[in-house]
A = this chain, B = another copy of it.
């Protein structure tokens, strides 16, 4: 920086002002300094800056299962948003969300002076462990529900499930079955709740719940049960004509099971998923599903975190991102009541 100042014939402080976009610098000086910076390939030393400002401009991300599409995309969204806001992010991936693992991750990040942490913790147990921990800096949860007093952002899972269910009801189905995710996941619970609410509001019967573990295999098994039920009640005007599966991967399994049982989608049974994974569009048939806008979830969580950091608000806010219904062939409108 001293070099730049010398070459440009100004003081180091003026160079600093140019770099920080300080208003009180004449256009001429600014141009000159900028040019010298360019010419010398100078880059401001972030460590010195952090030391002087007492701000590291570094955020931590703690995530639990980054190999799944949802968490992976969320982490990417958060990182992108942070980068746009001029922050460095460092992610720690945990295999399991035990309290010790979370605490260790926090210690690691704290050691680097992170100013805040975004925790991508879709499981109830993880959020609980997190809430019990004494964090060295503001923490914001993503997909962590709003049950506890941590601020957070999540997609409106409930609304998404409602939208799917209502879409199916509106397409002429008398009721909608549901293949839920594992009970410990908040997303799973919210989707189930939304589905149930939509059915009750519409005065439709609430069929028994099936459960999977997010994997295609578990969806396949649930699909076999569903198919068995449809076939068993053939000719008796069965009510099983539509299924809302809690994620796209399981929906894939359901589709396969139905096809193997000789049932057509959507003619015999309409199927909808949740997540809009990239493959969903290429399923056979293309899957109706709910899209999550990970970029905006990331942006919101970073926004929330920086609010806490920069203005020291202590209130814990919850932001909710709107889901988007993507209608594809797997739930094509049913023109007539199901044939007997």
Stretch with Cβ within 8 A of B (4 or more), from A22-30, A83-91, A328-336: A83-91
A340 CA to B243 CA in the complex, in Å?
43
Q: Are B83 and A76 in contact, with the CB atoms below 8 A?
A: no
Q: How far is the CB of A101 from chain B (nearest CB, A)?
A: 12
* A200 at the B interface (CB under 8 A): no
Q: Are B283 and A113 in contact, with the CB atoms below 8 A?
A: no
Partner of A111 from the list B46, B76, B89 (CB cut-off 8 Å) is B46
* A231 at the B interface (CB under 8 A): no
Q: Are B51 and A47 in contact, with the CB atoms below 8 A?
A: yes
Partner of A215 from the list B72, B79, B282 (CB cut-off 8 Å) is B282
* A50 at the B interface (CB under 8 A): yes
Stretch with Cβ within 8 A of B (4 or more), from A7-15, A252-260, A300-308: A252-260
Closest to A61 in B: B91
Q: How far is the CB of A83 from chain B (nearest CB, A)?
A: 6
* A321 at the B interface (CB under 8 A): no
Q: How far is the CB of A280 from chain B (nearest CB, A)?
A: 10
Q: List 27 A-B contacts (CB under 8 A).
A: A44-B111, A45-B51, A45-B113, A46-B56, A46-B111, A46-B112, A46-B113, A47-B47, A47-B48, A47-B50, A51-B51, A66-B75, A66-B76, A67-B69, A67-B73, A67-B76, A67-B278, A76-B93, A79-B91, A79-B93, A88-B90, A88-B112, A91-B91, A217-B279, A217-B283, A220-B284, A259-B260
